[in-house]
Amino acid sequence: MTDKAKDEVIKRAEAIVASKNVETELLLDEYVKLLKAYKKLLKDLNKLLRINTRYQTRLEKIANQYDRLKKVILPICVYVRKMKMDSNYWQIEELYPASKSEYGDKNSLSITDNVGLKDKREKRYIKEVYCGDPLLTTTSKVLENQSVTPNQLKSHLRKLLREYKKLLKRFTKAITISDLYQENLKDSLLQLDVLSKTDTLTGLPNRYELGKRLEAEKSRAERHGRVFSIIMLDIDHFKAINDEYGHEAGDRCLVEIAKCILANIRKEDTCGRWGGEEFLVLLPETDIEQAILVGSRIIESIRKADIFYTSERLRLTVSGGVSVFEKGQSIDECIKLADIALYKSKQRGRDCLSW
C-alpha cells in the first residue's frame, strides 16, 4: 500500500466520522473499507517484522564474532524488542518468505528456508493473525450485528480509525528500522570481509588472502607466459626481542617492518604477513634479478630504520629468500624454494638475501 493510498483511507474515514447525518449503509461501507485497509496493513507489518527478525539474527551473529560491531548493532536490536512488546500481535512469528517481500533489499539476505510457501499455508497464517487481534474480533461482531445504530457504528468507526493510525505509525517505525538494519548489515558484512583477509596488527593481507593472490597471479602468468617472483622475509632474533622487551615491543616491530617493506615496493606488488614474524612479498612481472634488487633494498631499509620502543632504539634486521615462478610449478613449490633460500640466509649469518 502506498503512502498516498494510506492518506486517502484516513481522509475518507475522518470525513465520514465528522459528518453529522450519515446513513447506516454509508457507514457500514466505510467501515468495511477501513477494516480491509487495516487487515492489509497488519499483514504487511507482520511480514516486515519477520524480515527485521532475520536482519537482527544475522547482525547479532556478526556481533558475537566481532565485539567491536556490537556498539553499532545492539541499540537497534533493543529498540525492536521494545516495539515488539507494545501489544500481543507483535509477538506472533510469521512464516513468510522474506525473499518475496516488497520491503527491504532482497539480495542482502540469504534466506532459503520457507521459500515457496504454499498459498493455503499463508492464508491460514493470515487468518490466525486476524483472529488473534482483539480489534478485528470486535469489528467482526459489529458487522454481524443487524441492530447496530448509526451512532454506535460511528463510534466503532472512530475507534478503528484511531487504531489504524496507531498501526500505521508502528509500520513506519518498522520500515525505518528495516532500512537501518540493511545499512548496518551491509557495513558489517563489508567489515567482516575485510577482517577475514586482513592481518589485524599490521593491516596487511593475511595468509589466506595471500594464497588467493598467489593463485591468481599463477593463473595469469601461465595464461600469458609471464613471470613473477616471491620474497620471503623473516625477522632475525625476534624471540629475543619479545623476551627482553615484551610482546608489545614485538608487535611494534612487526608494524614498523611492514611499513618499511611497503615503502620499498610498487603499488602493484603485494606484501602480506605469512605468519608469526614472517612476511611474503609477491612481485608480478618481476624476474629473479629484479627481485634480488627489491629484496636487497628492503633489507637495507630495515637495517637503517629508526624503530623505537619507549625511548630505546631497537636494532632490527631481517633475512630473506627469493624464488621465481616457473611454468609447471605449483605455488607451494615456489614458496618452498623461497623458504630454502631464506634458510640459507640464516645459515650465512642473517641480515642478508639468498636465492
What residues are annotated to the active site?
277
Which H/E stretch holds residue 168?
Answer: helix 150-196
Based on its alpha-carbon atoms, the radius of gyration of the chain, rounded to whole angstroms, reads 33
| Residue keyed to cell 461501507 | 29
DSSP class of residue 319? E
Neighbour count for residue 262 (Cβ, 10 Å): 16
**Plot region of 339 (φ>0 → left; ψ -120 to 50 → alpha; else → beta):** alpha
> Do 183 and 175 form a contact (C-beta atoms < 8 A)?
no
> Do 28 and 153 form a contact (C-beta atoms < 8 A)?
yes
**The C-alpha cell of 94 is what?**
510469521
**The C-alpha cell of 67 is what?**
565485539
> Within 13 Å of residue 90, how many CA atoms lie on the same side as its CB?
13
Phi, psi of 283 (to 5 degrees): -120, 95
- 133 in helix, strand or coil? coil
Range list of β-strands (E), 74-181 = none
- 95 in helix, strand or coil? coil
